[in-house]
Structure 1
């Protein structure tokens, strides 16, 4: 047996925790590394009494080519640790998490989410939901033993998938929305390589919609709902013009981030999706990261709004604090549109069970059901909100440490900020916020927010302004200047 210190393995392999799980290059995520991380997660959960020997741990994965190999290594680690590995198939992250939560089981999802398929990742979930930052710290502290010699991993060794998790996820939406929720609506499903591509069709049809699958791909496509590709923007408009859809919907790779267009094929920003979903559900206390559109406060639709650092663990921690303080009807969302439901929600005589992890399906169904109920197109739901618009983009292959160094230098003084961006906004700095990265609000209300990605070597830039045209121009101009940081 070989002893491995997880903190040292993280530093050596480059596979480390980001804003959502452990991620690294496919080459770095060897069977030994994935086995070690899984054993460390289990040991950490046993240490605090969360997991008991012999219980089930549910496993699922996305459609990346590297996912089966990682799943087999994870399953072996689960079995060697004295637990039952229950493979639930190629399923959305929220689907396996939801079923596990209902049965008080831990779960593990193999996915790289929206990032390219030269990378992958592992999401670990406690029986009550996602691991938080304190859990990540516990995992880092573990020392695990690996078998020697390490067994050969056969990626074809996965057992048949248990369909119970998929069935429970489908029933969640069918029962809550009902068979006529989308009756008469025509919806396109941009399938690409998303793991929910068939489930989306099934759910929409169960709610009464006419559905057309679109652009299914055998090659993995990294759809990022915070940085929508130009080709996807063009596709959305083309499909709407040719097919007369009420909306087109899609997700990222593991279906925890939604992508929904209006009837004109214009993709909605994720932080607008979150606000519209929360209003439909009657949420009273809402949590969202500092990067989200300020329309959440400007619309006046919620009793309390809390801002956090970027990443679902921070949103979940704040939701838990709100619940502990007595708040009801609590939810959260991220700028990518992933919606987290902390409370059971009663609406129209039906109850929607809590799912405190990012989900793509709920917010899209909420928007479509709201449009159906009101007899209004999706675009009018957006138009009814205060005029605050966001845009974002990223510089790829931008080292994280360089991002941090440059942002720290810029944050040192308002003069440095104004020298770089002041003429673009034609205004002085009003305030800065370093909750996560550097969020700069200028006196004219425009916003420039810079932040290193938590998942990949990328520098992200988020902007906000009073019109779509203006914010897109501002984002392009900011990205042009940031390119000079290389």
Structure 2
């Protein structure tokens, strides 16, 4: 990765690391690179989440794009998968989403989608980065300057995809936690359209509270509300929580217990396989996917292929292997028959439709998976390369000896935050925690307090 582009586009503290000047330069360079393959009469679609910095960065990136002569369609607040879907449905040149997904309020980000709806390759992002300060980029004048226009009605193109994919959800109560983010309208609306009784929480357009103690990053409020509704409502009650840009979703079942991404993927994979729609009987996960998930798939005659963490790497493995379905434990799920990127609302539509069609509770649909104790310790660091320090490598080797083939350890830098993540998994919870903390202490001892 380059200086600015990480595992999910450009991301940083808005007006700090990610300044309007940088957004302008990214807009110019991105439009110039896209012009190589796309006619100039095709616009670039630009959407954003609810963050307070969104309009500021949107104005800058739109200015950058239009300064090259390319037109822009601004769709406003929309889920990230909505930008990808709109881009392909109207045959736009590209799409841009302004969001930092699950990150804190002060962060923001810029991610591009190609005309095919897929995120840009590393090579294309590197080309954009190489042109950020290039004075030779196009700068037309007069009638050749690009035009920016608002086109909020285009969100219906994405909404119609969700409706088409859904089943009859009547009789089901769904609590929707929109995380004060991009799904604050689409999230509750889609389930109501499909016939469910909807209880919406954190569904305001309020970027000052996006991802704060709510949504997919904190399920406690959703669990509480689901349990309240269970106590007062006849019929099944379930819950879904989106993150800030709604490219991921996590769930709460009919007892108020959490269904993480592995369990959700198990349900969806079983359903696809049962209908003969899972190519090569293979699911693509990541190195973070629980060993219990892999064992459960094996018992169904299904195979797990592990990719690096990040939905772009899951997608890369899917497309490279000719697979349809994959995702992450964190809630990113990709079904290439229904979209080109992680899609929280689409995942929820698929999951709830299976439960309704089979008249089976979510917890029963996910039965047969024993979760191996897994501990994830995030160590905040000044330099993420500390994970390659000889002392850390020695600590990892010592941990592997303790686990003795009965578990695994993964130490990796975060692609979006100044963190080194230590993940340990084994059959013994106490040992798992001790090993993770031991390696984390080594890392903390090598980095200044931040």
Q: For the superposition of Structure 1 and Structure 2, which TM-score range results when normalised by the shorter chain?
A: 0.7 to 0.9
2:261 corresponds to: 270
1:336 corresponds, among 306, 330, 345, to: 330
Are the equivalent residues in 2 in contact too, given 1:225–1:257 (CA < 8 A)? no
Give matches, 1:290-309, under 5 Å: 290-298=287-295, 299-300=297-298, 301=300, 304-309=303-308
Specify the SS of the correspondent of 1:277.
helix
1:401 corresponds, among 384, 400, 406, to: 384
Q: TM-score, normalised by structure 1?
A: 0.78
Deviation at 1:216, TM superposition (A): 4.2
Give matches, 1:459-470, under 5 Å: 459-466=420-427, 470=429
Q: For residues 135 and 224 of structure 1, what CA distance do their matches in structure 2 show?
A: 36
Specify the SS of the correspondent of 2:176.
strand
Deviation at 1:447, TM superposition (A): 3.0
Q: For residues 363 and 248 of structure 1, what CA distance do their matches in structure 2 show?
A: 13
In structure 2, relative to structure 1, the CA distance for the partners of 1:448 and 1:417 (3 Å cut) is same
1:188 corresponds to: 175
Q: For residues 212 and 333 of structure 2, what CA distance do their matches in structure 1 show?
A: 17
Give matches, 1:100-115, under 5 Å: 100-105=87-92, 106-115=94-103
Q: For residues 463 and 485 of structure 1, what CA distance do their matches in structure 2 show?
A: 15
Q: TM-score, normalised by structure 2?
A: 0.83
Q: For residues 99 and 314 of structure 1, what CA distance do their matches in structure 2 show?
A: 23
2:238 corresponds, among 247, 264, 271, to: 247
1:237 corresponds to: 223
1:40 corresponds, among 20, 23, 29, to: 29
Specify the SS of the correspondent of 1:136.
helix
1:447 corresponds to: 408
Deviation at 1:108, TM superposition (A): 0.2
Q: For residues 96 and 119 of structure 1, what CA distance do their matches in structure 2 show?
A: 20
Are the equivalent residues in 2 in contact too, given 1:114–1:223 (CA < 8 A)? no
1:410 corresponds, among 372, 383, 392, to: 392
Give the unaligned 5+ runs of structure 1: 1-6, 148-156, 345-353, 430-441
Give yes or no for the alignment of 1:87 onto 2:53: no
In structure 2, relative to structure 1, the CA distance for the partners of 1:272 and 1:133 (3 Å cut) is farther
Deviation at 1:19, TM superposition (A): 1.3
Q: For residues 76 and 359 of structure 1, what CA distance do their matches in structure 2 show?
A: 28
Deviation at 1:466, TM superposition (A): 4.7
Q: For residues 84 and 405 of structure 1, what CA distance do their matches in structure 2 show?
A: 45
Are the equivalent residues in 2 in contact too, given 1:58–1:96 (CA < 8 A)? yes
Specify the SS of the correspondent of 1:78.
helix
Specify the SS of the correspondent of 1:144.
coil
Deviations 1:283-321 (A, max 9, x none): 233222222223443223465532222222222222222
Deviation at 1:158, TM superposition (A): 8.0
Deviations 1:211-247 (A, max 9, x none): 1112446322336999944xx33x2332232111621
2:191 corresponds, among 204, 224, 229, to: 204
Deviations 1:311-369 (A, max 9, x none): 2222222222223xxx6xx1221232211222x3xxxxxxxxx4121111222222222
Deviation at 1:258, TM superposition (A): 0.6
Specify the SS of the correspondent of 1:135.
helix
Q: For residues 293 and 52 of structure 1, what CA distance do their matches in structure 2 show?
A: 45
Q: For residues 102 and 466 of structure 1, what CA distance do their matches in structure 2 show?
A: 47
After the TM superposition, which of the residue ranges 218-227 and 53-62 deviates more from structure 2? 218-227
1:370 corresponds to: 354
Specify the SS of the correspondent of 1:130.
coil
Q: For residues 199 and 258 of structure 1, what CA distance do their matches in structure 2 show?
A: 13
Give the unaligned 5+ runs of structure 2: 138-146, 231-235, 445-450
In structure 2, relative to structure 1, the CA distance for the partners of 1:87 and 1:380 (3 Å cut) is same
Q: For residues 422 and 319 of structure 2, what CA distance do their matches in structure 1 show?
A: 29
Give matches, 1:147-158, under 5 Å: none
2:13 corresponds to: 25
Are the equivalent residues in 1 in contact too, given 2:77–2:182 (CA < 8 A)? yes
Q: For residues 372 and 95 of structure 1, what CA distance do their matches in structure 2 show?
A: 25
Q: How many residues align?
A: 416
Q: For residues 73 and 52 of structure 2, what CA distance do their matches in structure 1 show?
A: 21
Q: Which structure has more strand as a fraction of its residues?
A: 1
Deviations 1:11-65 (A, max 9, x none): 5xxxx22211111111232222101112222222233x2x221211101000100
Deviations 1:63-114 (A, max 9, x none): 1000101111111112111211001110000011111122332100000111
